[in-house]
Amino acid sequence: MPLKTKPRKRRLKVAVTLLSGLLPVLLGSFILYMQAGRALVQHAQETAEEAIRQFELMLDNTAQAAHELLPLAGQSCLDVNLALREQVTRRPFVRSTNLMWDDTIYCSSLFGDYHEKVASGGYAGGRLLLMKGNPVTPDTALLVYRIEDGKRGALATLDGYHLSNVLRLIGRHTLLILQVGNNWLTADGHVQEGTLPDFSVAQSMLKSTRYDFSVAAGFPDGETWRYMTNEYPTLFSLLIFFGVISGAIGHVLQKRSNSPTLEMQRALDAVEFVPYFQAVVHGDSKKLSGIEVLMRWNHPKEGLVRPDLFIPFAEHSGLIVPMTRSLMQQTATLLGPLSGSFTEPFHIGINITASHCQNLDLIQDCRQFLGAFAPGSIHLVLELTERELFEPTELTHQLFDQLHELGVMFAIDDFGTGHSSLGYLRQFNVDFLKIDQSFVAMIGIDTPSSHILDTIIQLARKLELSMVAEGVETQEQSDYLTAHNVNFQQGFLFGRPMPGAEFISALSDH
């Protein structure tokens, strides 16, 4: 059935709907993720720059203390001790000051006279050394600034507490490390040596241009995602919103593109609805009196489709009107050229529906149809099923009257299965009653409904209406109908519905 969705297609549709919903979310998330990554890199660089500024400021103080003291180196500790202590007191961040002679500390702000040999080897750039601690405070980091001039030397130390404070306070979300030479200090105040640990996100390394130290900045694993959800909550909600909208649009578009209406519109444009002709014969002579035009859908994949599978959809969508128009045009093209040879008016039955009665377009369609035949060579009979009769409105009266004026005739199809009243039949000036095939099928079978056929025949005779018996399949049925003076017969006994061209060649063979 061409208008039903197959399970495999349904799964595909669900997948497409999900994809159209997820794609913007995934794409948007990816863009946000990249954006967050870029923001974090910038953040890390800015934090590292700020840390470097702070460390340089601290080192400036420390260096100034050392520079001021250097000229005093060589003088006795007793004479310079006060100067050493003054620097510690005056200069922020400076923890201790020391004077050296010949690579040996001989005077310290802390201990006064002192004696310790200090090799210059481990100092970065000969100036800076990051230490885990000293004998006084073994667990507190210490940054030593050292200058020398000949045998003279001065050392000023910067308290690691201030350094780790900077690392902690500036880099509240950023992980920061201060590296001096082979040693490095983290925000928790610990000094370690060797290679720096890797930061998984936005790692950057900046060097001070003024002192020999570097700052590494970065973020731990998962920071990009955390940053995204924290910083872009509105964008995130928008993404979800767009995802839902896009999924819904995808769903609706698919539904529309697969809707029976669209599929039938396509088929109509491709002229896939084609006429089949079934013979109608005279009840007495069994000579051909005309045809009924029956629609078939010549579907490119499904093959020939029966009308009861698609006509309800066509009626529902209103497409039945242009479909019938196409059917009439094709019929006129096929039979019009033969009409000169018709010896008596040839009946051509076309099935119409209530949709045809919503305006007067049918009049023009019938006028065009009749125009394709030799004048008086055919009787166009519009068949309307009894289950779906016209509303007796002003419009339908106008329609019927004008069609009658054109010479168009009317048949009540499937008669006996609906509920047309006698008044109705008179009001609309019906010409034929088509006895439903279910009653014909009862002929020869003695059931209560087999008597209905006789009643219908009597009724039609009283109303002076011509009768067509449908679905005549057996000789017995045909004989019975002939015996009861049913005017016309139609059924497989006389011929199945067949394609127009086939019908025409059968006609010429006769």
Question: Which residue, 241 or 492, has its beta carbon nearer to ligand C2E?
Answer: 492
Under rule CB under 5 A, residue 159 binds Ca ion: no
Reading the block at residue 320, the tokens are 């039945």
Distance of CA 167 to the CA centre of its chain: 48
CB 465 within 8 A of CB 431: yes
Q: Which stretch binds ligand C2E (CB under 6 A): 33-41, 59-67, 281-289, 469-477?
A: 469-477
Question: Which residue, 40 or 472, has its beta carbon nearer to ligand C2E?
Answer: 472
Q: Which residues have C-beta within 8 Å of that of residue 123, sequence separation ≥ 6?
A: 129, 144, 146, 181
Strands 498-499, 152-159: parallel, antiparallel or unpaired by DSSP? unpaired
DSSP-derived secondary structure letter, 197: P
CB 394 within 8 A of CB 358: no
Q: Which stretch binds Ca ion (CB under 5 A): 110-118, 129-137, 244-252, 377-385?
A: 377-385
Q: Which stretch binds ligand C2E (CB under 6 A): 70-78, 82-90, 229-237, 465-473?
A: 465-473
Under rule CB under 6 A, residue 294 binds ligand C2E: yes
Q: Which of 158, 325, 414, 486 binds Ca ion (CB under 5 A)?
A: 414
Q: Which stretch binds ligand C2E (CB under 6 A): 237-245, 280-288, 319-327, 335-343?
A: 319-327
Amino acid at 108: S
Under rule CB under 6 A, residue 151 binds ligand C2E: no
Q: Which of 177, 320, 412, 469 binds ligand C2E (CB under 6 A)?
A: 320
CA distance 70 to 146: 10
CB 434 to ligand C2E: min, Å: 7
489-to-178, 468, 496 alpha-carbon distances in Å: 105, 5, 13
Question: Which residue, 387 or 451, has its beta carbon nearer to Ca ion?
Answer: 387
CB 35 to ligand C2E: min, Å: 60
Choose among ligand C2E, Ca ion, none what residue 320 binds, the Cβ cut-off being 5 to 8 Å by kind.
ligand C2E
CB 73 within 8 A of CB 225: no
Question: Which residue, 108 or 353, has its beta carbon nearer to ligand C2E?
Answer: 353
Under rule CB under 6 A, residue 435 binds ligand C2E: no
Choose among Ca ion, ligand C2E, none what residue 416 binds, the Cβ cut-off being 5 to 8 Å by kind.
none
Reading the block at residue 365, the tokens are 């369609």
Q: CA torsion sign, 149 to 155 to 160 to 165?
A: negative
CA distance 64 to 156: 9
CB 336 to Ca ion: min, Å: 21
What is the residue whose two structure tokens read 């045998």? 151
CB 284 to ligand C2E: min, Å: 19
| Closest C-alpha to 65, from 107, 93, 105 | 93
CA distance 228 to 233: 8
Q: Footprint of ligand C2E on this chain (CB under 6 A)?
A: 278, 294-295, 306-308, 311, 320, 324, 327, 351, 353, 383, 385, 413-414, 437, 470-473, 490-492, 497
